[in-house]
Amino acid sequence: MTKDLPGAVAPRQNWKKREQMEADELHVLAPYAQKSGESRGRKYPESRHAYRTEFQRDRARIIHARAFRRLEYKTQVFLNGTGDHLRTRLTHSIEVASISRTIARALALNEDLAEAIALAHDLGHSPFGHSGEEMLAECMREHGGFDHNRQSQRVVELLEAAYPAFPGLNLTFEVREGLRKHDEFHEPFRPGGEKYRRPSLEAQIADLGDEITYYSHDLDDAVDFEILRSAQLEEVTIWRQSHESVAARYPDVREPELHKLIIGAIIDAQVRDVLMTSAAAIAGAGVQSADDVRRNAGSLICYSDARHQANQELRRFLYKNVYYHPRVAEVNQRACEMLRAVFEAYLRAPDLLGDGAMRRIESEGLHRTVCDYVAGMTDRYLIEEHSRIKTL
């Protein structure tokens, strides 16, 4: 153990304060990037952190949320538990975050904001994937409906209960803005201001990153799950072009390595196209600030027309040959019937929900409270709850 000597110079502080990080953003990021130091803040004011920016704090709150941990046991496409290597909502969200950071960094935008939005975008997703979402929407048809994007907002603004001073996670305006993916208009961000059409570029990146991820990785899982044949895949332009590219570089490669390389080539081609097209769109729009982006009529993070058409072809292929394949659809349909049965059982006997959820019935209504509870369930828990309810 050493002692300070009289007259000794104090050791240099070797960690970076938040203020320095914010100053760095002003120098490094593009003028139209959303700077963390210029955040419009949180609904419930909080003191700023000593060594984390506002968007870094948001990212931490999201990954420490219970709703985020539950994504590990929620279906992406193939029912959770049917394969050790198949993707879940959690791995999907991490992959979206990775692609979003790549695009944001290349365009000199705020990586932390893009990543936080990407990590939070599926927090409100129901069990059993899109089939479960459709079933919940049917159950809620006369009671306000259900959409996983709006549900993600409810999770971060109301349902997570990690802090005694406020409901939800109290995320910044910019992250919450990014979760409103399908809003036609956004409310003014200043008193007396006008509604606007587009969120930040970082939010647009997370939205397109989600699309890139499920196009490629759902295809990857379908090949692993052996429901697609080579001849089918060669009908798809994106697959065929990527296969040719891989074969030219690695003429001797065979399965299973081959299709993994093809998936990687698809992702690389998607990201490259987005970077080139978006950079041109941003320059053409002449935006000089994050608010200029919000006032712009169209999205500036985008594909080329040719890539968009190829992706539409891939989307149609996935719906026809993967999402509606009997090995996927029939299993998910049986699971969704369980979801409906559990939902209806809670309506008949709300005391099954537990004290925490029951306290919200007065303010939120019975149907919405049941919907919140069921949407938050993992696949595994809902199946267990269905078995338990049958014995009552």
Radius of gyration, alpha carbons of the chain: 23
- In this predicted structure, the answer to whether residue 287 has a pLDDT above a threshold of 90 is yes
- In this predicted structure, the answer to whether residue 10 has a pLDDT above a threshold of 60 is no
C-alpha torsion sign, points 248, 316, 327, 140: positive
Domains recognised in the chain with CATH numbers: 51-390 (1.10.3210.10)
Summarised one tens digit per residue, pLDDT across range 91-128 is: 999 999 999 999 999 999 999 999 999 999 999 999 99
Which amino acid belongs to residue 264?
G
Q: Are 88 and 75 in contact (CB under 8 A)?
A: yes
List residues bridging with 196 in a β-sheet: 186
Which tokens go with 354? 């537990």
- In this predicted structure, the answer to whether residue 14 has a pLDDT above a threshold of 80 is no
CA distance 232 to 325: 13
**What is the pLDDT confidence band of residue 366, given thresholds at 50, 70 and 90?**
very high
Three-point CA angle 305, 309, 313, nearest 5°? 165
Collapsed DSSP state (helix, strand, coil) of residue 88: strand
Summarised one tens digit per residue, pLDDT across range 157-199 is: 999 999 999 999 999 999 999 999 877 778 776 777 788 889 9
Closest to 288 measured CA to CA, from 9, 75, 59, 33: 33
- Residue matched to tokens 């002449």: 286
Q: Please give the DSSP secondary-structure letter assigned to residue 65.
A: S
Closest to 154 measured CA to CA, from 140, 168, 141, 142: 168
Residue ranges in 140-187 assigned as alpha helix (H): 148-154, 173-179
CA distance 201 to 33: 7
Which tokens go with 14? 């070797």
Neighbours of 157 (CB within 10 A): 17
pTM over 0.75: yes
Neighbours of 327 (CB within 10 A): 15
